[in-house]
Structure 1
């Protein structure tokens, strides 16, 4: 990410987070003549204890000096979570590896232990993805609930792209936008962590051009390495299914993530899933 693109990303992030906070949530009076939702710039400056001019320049993406202590105040004023705070600091302070080099992606990074985990989670659709949300591993349950990723060329196995390109996902997820926002929040966390990887900028530009709805959801997305999402699916064969998404960082040399879709305990989702798998074995 170039210096100017980093400042533009910082500007967009600050505007989105400011718009997401109501005056009441910030302990401020509602007032009148609010043309846009959320807080005004001067209100964020007041809450953060900085001048309105300085905060305006920061939000406009101007190249100004910032300090960690002031960023802490901005993060508190905007009620950022831990991952959003890290994202703010990465953009504002241009934090990245000293040599600008990131580890190469390992296409075959699925270890035998991860393979065993995938196999044992028979009633939980599970996907292993890399830091670009590329799908590098999945279990049988995931292949039947989502789609058979083995039938896709490796370069097409990107979860973010699939959510917008494949109609199966849009038909499957009743709360599709929530489904997408969960993955975009993870993707944005990676984006802030790997600022110097130009692949992210190229990918985002490609998605914005090809899918107008991506642009809207991307600008609205939060930042979270482990979003708490409940998903309702309408499976073509199994009907209504409810899952709780648990996203785990995999320990090891490769930057991998394990996304586990656990059947909701107060539903018959697990029973339906087992029947779906059993029917496939018999057919």
Structure 2
């Protein structure tokens, strides 16, 4: 991410976080003449113990000097969680990982041990993706619940793009916006981490130009490296299914992520999935 783009991302993020907070949530009397959603800039500045002018410049994305201690104060004022704080620091201090080797130069063949884990998670649909959210592996259960990723060209297997492009996902997710927001939160965490990878800016421009509903969801500026949520699917053949999404980082140079959908123990999801998979067994696809 180049310097101007990084500062623009910082500006968008701060404004979005400020808009989420109400005066009452931070102990400020709202008053009668309030047209700004959430807090005003000067209110954030007051909470952080900095000048209103300095915070305004920071939120405007001006190229100013910032310190870790002041950013800590801003994080506290905006009630940022751990992942949001890391994202703020990466953008404001330019402390992201930076440019790493292009993905085509990294191995995209998952290890035998990871492939075995995919097989062992027989009734847990599991998807493995890289830092661009490109799908590089999946198991049989994922093919039954989501789609047959083998039929999608390798270069088109981007999870973020598929969520907006494929009608199957929109029909599947009981709350499509929540489903998408969890992946966008992961994507934003990567976006802040790899601050010099221009691929992200190109991808975001393409998504914004292609899908009108993308920007409103992206601009919510959620950040999460490992969301854990309960998701309801409405499968065309199996009916309602409830899964707990757990996202795990795979340690190693390839920077892979394992997204595991565990059937809710208090539902009939696992039995439905077993019946679904019994209809037609498939081999684990090779990547």
TM bin, normalised by shorter chain, reads over 0.9
Once the two structures are overlaid, the 10-residue window that deviates more, 101-110 or 76-85, is 101-110
Contact persistence 1:179–1:229 (CA under 8 A):
no
Shift of 1:32: 2.1
**In 1, Cα distance between the equivalents of 2:76 and 2:45?**
11
Corresponding residue SS for 2:24 = coil
Contact persistence 1:96–1:195 (CA under 8 A):
yes
Corresponding residue SS for 2:262 = strand
1:211 corresponds to: 211
Corresponding residue SS for 1:25 = helix
Shift of 1:107: 4.6
**In 1, Cα distance between the equivalents of 2:214 and 2:281?**
37
Shift of 1:140: 0.4
1:84 corresponds to: 84
2:102 corresponds to: 104
Contact persistence 2:13–2:221 (CA under 8 A):
no
Corresponding residue SS for 1:208 = helix
> Are residue 155 (structure 1) and residue 165 (structure 2) matched?
no
Describe the superposition over 1:159-182 as per-residue Cα deviations: whole angstroms up to 9, x where unpaired.
Answer: 000000000000100100000000
Shift in CA distance, 228/31, structure 1 to aligned 2, threshold 3 Å: farther
Please tell me the root mean square deviation across aligned C-alpha atoms, in Å.
1.3
**In 1, Cα distance between the equivalents of 2:36 and 2:261?**
37
2:31 corresponds to: 31
2:187 corresponds to: 187
How many residues get paired? 280
> Are residue 164 (structure 1) and residue 164 (structure 2) matched?
yes
TM-score where L is the length of structure 1:
0.96
**In 2, Cα distance between the equivalents of 1:260 and 1:30?**
43
**In 2, Cα distance between the equivalents of 1:96 and 1:137?**
26
Shift in CA distance, 79/30, structure 1 to aligned 2, threshold 3 Å: same
